[in-house]
Structures are given as structure tokens and as C-alpha cells.
């Protein structure tokens, strides 16, 4: 019977023999490749490095050029604080307030911080928008405040931006809902169809630009108009941002071009509540157009507090420096309040929004 010690020596010897065989095999393989084989590998590696950059500093610069596409058109960071004031006159059992909160929109904006106060009863998606729902019980006459705040990284995705990035950030599988008549968007109305035919171009882009120019030039801005549909806007040729947008969408849909309504807040012009249009291009996705901008001069304060105004030039492909924080894809779900009452009480309520938007960097 072999001793344990001799058994251990035997295992060590076997391992050494195995290592020797491996070393011998590698040596034979290298000898077979020859000097030219080793040299060619070394030259290839060195040449690849030289082609990439001649020194470490240049190499870092080259790598920086390979950074994500978003760096071509940088995002700007803004803090936003939307205060919604619900003025209740009378007593209510329950007051419900729903508001669409800003969400990530590929190539357009992404939210790095979001705060809701008070704590909402629930948050959910309606399939298109992100909704926060607040509930107040046993409400007496007075004011209720809801605050939506956070940080948004934003850039306006207009046609010029889309061309530079040259890709579709969000491909739609079904565009049918953006081609149909809808609330306040009567694209099947005879007067809308007749006008749309006169705006039809040889390409989608040409039709969109013809429609944008028609709406911008033929409507008079009037913030006092009542809520109305696109066919009435076309008839009286005046309205506010939502009317400009609804008419443009109706005319585009009548020409079988997918388009949709967007609401949110302008970053310039004091951060006002606003509506604009997005048009779908197969190559670029949803692209922003603001037919109201020609009627609404840009206003801003300089470092000394002096107010400046600029009138936009009509150029559909650009947003003229105007930026938006999108919240909702339709007017109905932008924000709304409702209430439940019992007995003979007939309370009333009104809504007010107070946005504050500031550039962070």
C-alpha cells in the first residue's frame, strides 16, 4: 500500500507533466507561425491605434466624438413649478382634480425629478398621458392648492432638429386615431375638406408647410374667443392657441396626414399655458409645429430686468427658439376638476394655473 506522501508526489508530477505538454504545444505553434506572422499581428494592432489617434489626448477627443447622438443638439435643464388653484364656493363632499404631469418623451424631454403635493390619491396612465389624481373630502368654501414640480431636460423637436438627428425616436404601429375626426377637430366637415384640398402639395412636407402658413397668416389672434371647433375657427378666422392648433390638425387630417394636439407650458414668454401641434413623419416621428407663434411675439427679460419682444418669422420648420414642456396629448386631459355634492347644496368651482419655469444650466 502506497503512503499518502508518495501519492501526493505522484499528483504533483502529473500536474508538472501536463504543464510541460501545454508549454511544448504552444512553442511548436509559435514556431510554425514564423516571424512574419507575429510581426503582422503587431503591426495591425499598432496601426489601428495610430489610425484612431496619435496620442492619448487625441484619443480622448476621438472618443468624445463617439458620444450619444443627443449631444449634437444639447438638452437644456429647467426647474418647473406648476401651482393649480381650485377656488371652491360652497360646500362639497368630494372635489377631484386630475392633471397630466410631464413625462419622458424620447428626443424631446426627460424628467429627472418629479414632486406632487399633496400626495395624490393615485397616479396612472390613460394610454397616452401620465395622470395624477387628487381627492379632497368635506370641502368648505375656500381655495385648494395642487403643486406639480420637478426638473426637466428639454429640447424642442422641430423639423430642423429632426433632420439633424435623422432618425425616428418613436415608431407608431397604428396611426388611425390621428387621422380621424375628433372633439373640436372636424376633419370630415365639407368646408375643412374643401380648404385642405387647396393646400395639398406634392409631398407631405409641402402640404404641412402650406397648412401651417395658411393658419398662421389667415387667423387673427383673439384670446377672448369662446371654445369652438375647427370648422367655426375657419369660418370666423380668429381664436387662441388651441383654435390655431385644432384648425391645423383638422386640415392635415383631411389630407390624410397624421397629426395631434399637444398642451403644456412655454419656457419663454413667462412659462404660459400653451397648445401646439405635432405631425408624424415616417422618417422622423412626431415633429412639433406651432402655428400660433407668428401671432404671439416672443417676450423675455434680460439680466437687467428689461422686457424685450421679438416677432417670429414664418418658417414652419423651426420653432424660433421657443421651447415647451409637454404635459398632455389632448386638451381634455390637460387638467380638470369635478365635485360630488349631496342635498340641495350647489357649489361652484373655478381653476387657475400659475407656472414658474427657470433655467438650471
Partnered with residue 43 across adjacent β-strands are none
Distance CA 234, CA 216 (A): 12
160-164 contact pairs (CB < 8 A, 24+): 160/317, 160/318, 161/73, 161/107, 162/281, 162/283, 162/284, 162/285, 162/287, 163/284, 164/72, 164/73
**pTM reported for the whole predicted model:** 0.74
CA distance 118 to 145: 8
Residue spans of the domains in the chain: they are 4-65, 80-359
SS3 state of residue 62:
helix
Q: Across residues 1-29, what is the average pLDDT?
A: 52
What is the CB neighbour count within 10 angstroms for residue 155? 17
Give the model's pLDDT for residue 44: 27
CA distance 138 to 342: 11
Task: Tell me which H or E stretch contains 57.
Answer: helix 56-65
Kindly state the average pLDDT of the residues 296-310: 57
The C-alpha atoms of residue 210 and residue 203 are separated, in whole angstroms, by: 11
Pick the most confident of 49-58, 103-112, 312-321, 323-332: 103-112
Q: What is the pLDDT of residue 81?
A: 94
Q: Which three cell numbers stand for residue 154?
A: 428639454
- The angle that helices 204-218 and 241-254 make with each other, rounded to 10 degrees, is 140
Count how many Cα atoms sit within 13 Å of the Cα of residue 262 in the half-sphere of its side chain.
Answer: 27
The three state secondary structure string of 273-335 is EEEEEEEEECCCEEEEECCCCCCCCEEEECCCCCEEEECCCCCCCCCCCCCEEEEECCCCCCE
Q: How large is the angle between the packed helices 241-254 and 190-199, nearest 10 degrees? A: 80
- Range in 15-24, 44-53, 161-170, 228-237 the model is least confident about: 44-53
Query: What is residue 331's predicted lDDT score, i.e. its pLDDT?
Result: 72
Q: What is the mean pLDDT of the chain?
A: 79
Confidence of residue 305 (pLDDT cuts 50, 70, 90): low
Q: Which residue has the higher pLDDT, 293 or 23?
A: 293
C-alpha–C-alpha distance, residues 257 and 287, integer Å: 12
pLDDT of 37 > 50? The answer is: no
CATH 1.20.200.10 fits 80-359, yes or no: no
Confidence class for position 306, pLDDT limits 50, 70, 90 = low
Which residues does residue 259 pair with via DSSP β-bridges, in sequence order?
279
Q: What percent of the chain has pLDDT over 90?
A: 49
Of residues 50 and 257, more confidently modeled: 257
Position 53 scores a pLDDT of 37
pLDDT in tens, 63-88: 333 333 445 788 889 999 999 999 99
Amino acid at each position: 500500500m502506497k503512503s499518502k506522501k508518495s501519492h501526493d508526489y505522484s499528483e504533483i508530477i502529473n500536474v508538472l507533466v501536463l504543464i510541460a505538454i501545454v508549454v511544448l504545444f504552444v512553442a511548436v505553434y509559435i514556431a510554425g507561425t514564423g516571424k512574419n506572422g507575429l510581426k503582422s499581428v503587431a503591426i495591425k494592432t499598432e496601426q489601428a491605434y495610430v489610425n484612431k489617434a496619435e496620442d492619448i489626448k487625441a484619443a480622448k477627443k476621438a472618443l468624445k466624438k463617439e458620444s450619444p447622438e443627443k449631444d449634437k443638439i444639447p438638452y437644456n435643464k429647467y426647474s418647473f413649478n406648476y401651482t393649480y388653484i381650485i377656488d371652491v364656493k360652497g360646500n362639497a363632499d368630494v372635489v377631484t382634480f386630475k392633471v397630466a404631469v410631464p413625462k419622458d418623451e424620447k428626443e424631446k424631454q426627460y424628467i429627472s425629478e418629479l414632486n406632487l403635493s399633496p400626495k395624490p390619491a393615485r397616479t396612472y396612465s390613460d394610454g397616452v398621458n401620465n395622470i395624477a389624481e387628487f381627492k379632497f373630502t368635506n370641502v368648505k368654501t375656500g381655495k385648494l392648492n395642487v403643486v406639480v414640480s420637478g426638473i426637466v431636460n428639454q429640447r424642442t423637436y422641430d423639423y430642423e432638429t429632426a433632420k439633424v438627428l435623422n432618425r425616428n425616436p418613436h415608431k407608431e404601429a397604428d396611426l388611425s386615431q390621428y387621422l380621424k375626426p375628433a372633439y373640436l377637430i372636424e376633419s370630415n366637415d365639407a368646408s375643412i375638406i374643401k380648404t385642405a384640398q387647396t393646400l395639398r402639395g406634392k409631398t407631405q412636407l409641402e402640404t404641412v408647410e402650406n397648412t401651417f402658413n395658411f393658419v398662421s397668416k389667415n387667423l387673427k389672434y383673439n384670446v377672448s374667443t369662446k371654445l369652438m371647433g375647427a370648422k367655426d375657427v375657419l369660418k370666423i378666422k380668429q381664436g387662441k392657441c388651441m383654435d390655431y392648433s385644432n384648425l391645423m390638425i383638422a386640415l392635415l387630417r383631411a389630407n390624410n396626414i397624421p397629426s395631434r394636439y399637444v398642451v403644456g407650458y412655454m419656457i419663454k414668454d413667462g412659462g404660459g399655458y400653451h397648445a401646439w401641434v405635432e405631425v408624424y413623419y415616417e422618417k422622423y416621428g412626431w415633429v412639433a409645429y406651432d402655428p400660433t407663434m407668428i401671432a404671439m411675439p416672443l417676450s423675455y427679460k434680460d439680466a437687467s430686468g428689461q422686457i424685450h419682444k421679438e416677432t417670429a418669422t414664418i418658417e414652419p420648420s423651426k420653432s424660433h427658439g421657443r421651447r415647451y414642456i409637454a404635459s398632455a396629448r389632448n386638451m381634455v386631459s390637460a387638467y380638470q376638476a369635478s365635485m360630488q355634492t349631496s342635498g340641495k347644496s350647489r357649489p361652484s368651482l373655478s381653476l387657475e394655473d400659475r407656472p414658474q419655469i427657470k433655467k438650471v444650466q
